[in-house]
Amino acid sequence: MDTAKTTGIQLQWVLKPFHALTVYELYEILRLRQAVFVVEQNCVFIDNDRIDLQAFHLMGHNAGGEIVAHARIIPHSVVYTQASIGRVVTDASLRGTGAGQLLMKQAIARLEHLFGKVPVRIEAQFYLLRFYRSFGFVEEGAVYILDGIEHIQMVRPAAEP
């Protein structure tokens, strides 16, 4: 378990490759992503982009066992030449609790466990620039519109061994 400092929220973290997800886990991941990306952010896009099939899925479960945080960890050469973290999402009920920070810390740690201390590329929503900078990500290139939302490419250099 990892605990957010601000509210003492506790989440249990599980990492699985796609083929090991249960039907329930997949349903809950897709429900969470739809609730935030499609409904809350009013963004119509194809979430099932087949990248999930090659990704590892980090799930944060609350005390009731619900998946309330998720990120996918993507090996290098699937989307980018670098490894990547994407579809970073927390349930609206967790906003402001530090759960998003816990999710990113877990995602980076799990990525490094899987692939080593390699560079990591993300496609960040621009309004979260400061959040991702706090984890060592640096902007690369210009801001662009993706699915109606401003994004920017960011890279976290390989960590020192």
Summarised one tens digit per residue, pLDDT across range 109-159 is 999 999 999 999 999 999 999 999 999 999 999 999 988 889 999 999 997
* 156 belongs to a structural domain: no
H or E, element range at 87: strand 83-90
| C-alpha angle 157-107-9 in degrees, rounded to nearest 5 | 130
Q: Which domain covers residue 66, as residue numbers?
A: 2-119
Whether pLDDT at 81 is above 60: yes
- Across residues 72-80, what is the average pLDDT? 96
Whether pLDDT at 5 is above 70: no
* 12 belongs to a structural domain: yes
H or E, element range at 144: strand 138-146
| C-alpha span between 131 and 23 (Å, rounded) | 32
**Tell me, what's the pLDDT at 2?**
55
CATH (domain of 94): 3.40.630.30
Q: How many domains does the chain have?
A: 1
Greater model confidence, 42 or 49:
49
Greater model confidence, 110 or 95:
110
Q: pTM for the whole thing?
A: 0.91
* 146 belongs to a structural domain: no
* 125 belongs to a structural domain: no
* 154 belongs to a structural domain: no
